Amino acid sequence: MSRPAVLADSVSVSFRPYLDRKPTMRRTLATFRHREPHLVDAVKDVSFEVRPGEAFGIIGRNGAGKSTLLRVLAGTIKPDAGKIVINGKTSTLLQLGLGFNPQLSGRRNVYLGALAGGLRKAEIDDLFDGIVEYAELEEAIDRPLKTYSTGMFSRLAFSVGMALHPDILLLDEILSVGDESFRDKSMESMQSLLDRAGTIVFVSHSLASVADFCDRAMWMERGQVREIGASGDVVELYKADVKTEQQSKGKRTG
């Protein structure tokens, strides 16, 4: 057995809603008067592991803690309890175009995005032509980013994200990048990442793409793990649950 690419062991993240949510001077003064003792668990006692070469999907309703969990994996939030082990270089495509500045040219944004992702300038110099070619933006690379269409923007951002050459790719809702042909190309790149024993952790509301693309999936509910298993099975269970919920709602209103 090889060691897991991602290991989460009883990870919990809790927020104090008053102090941790957009505090302002007024609210801080308010908390001095009546302290808010209760904690909200965004992620509670979550354990799972992802093996190299595996695509792992995370599904669940809004507010189930999926994005918080991805941020824990990305290392930007430290869990309050539990342990995270990451073996390899992670790259996040949690949000497309991180570090991009719409006023600047596509060229400059390639550098900004890749530097933000942790590459050195010399490395980007070498990768630059490949990034632009992959994004199919040779013509437009010196135009300001704000003149790009949504598809062009996503292509460039995705291309920069893949150029970071991650071992572990964290994705949030972005499998639908660009037009049909670019989507095929991006799927191919992700498949080749898996083939070279890379790992993908993928959060999505698109159940079909989770069932298709992922090997295993995890269903989160109110910060906790509800099911982990083969992606098709977990998606079916989740669908059934959503359906019963809708039916009971329908009964109440009807």
Give the residues lining the site for other proteins (CB under 8 A). Answer: 15, 19-20, 22-25, 28, 71, 74-78, 92, 94-95, 98-99, 101, 103-104, 108, 111-112, 115-118, 120-121, 144
- In whole angstroms, the minimum distance from the beta carbon of 19 to other proteins comes to 7
Task: Choose between 158 and 238: whose C-beta lies nearer to other proteins.
Answer: 158
- In whole angstroms, the minimum distance from the beta carbon of 137 to other proteins comes to 18
- In whole angstroms, the minimum distance from the beta carbon of 105 to other proteins comes to 9
User: CA dist 189 to 84, 153, 196, Å?
Assistant: 27, 18, 11
Task: Choose between 87 and 237: whose C-beta lies nearer to other proteins.
Answer: 87
Task: Choose between 51 and 89: whose C-beta lies nearer to other proteins.
Answer: 89
Task: Choose between 68 and 209: whose C-beta lies nearer to other proteins.
Answer: 68
CA distance 24 to 22: 6
- In whole angstroms, the minimum distance from the beta carbon of 235 to other proteins comes to 26
- In whole angstroms, the minimum distance from the beta carbon of 45 to other proteins comes to 18
User: What is the side-by-side strand order in the sheet with 55-60?
Assistant: 90-93, 168-172, 199-203, 55-60, 216-221, 224-230
CA distance 43 to 81: 10
Task: Choose between 153 and 238: whose C-beta lies nearer to other proteins.
Answer: 153
Task: Choose between 94 and 210: whose C-beta lies nearer to other proteins.
Answer: 94
- In whole angstroms, the minimum distance from the beta carbon of 248 to other proteins comes to 35
Pairing of strands 6-15, 224-230: unpaired
Task: Give backbone dihedrals phi and psi of 36, rounded to 5 degrees, phi first.
Answer: -100, 95
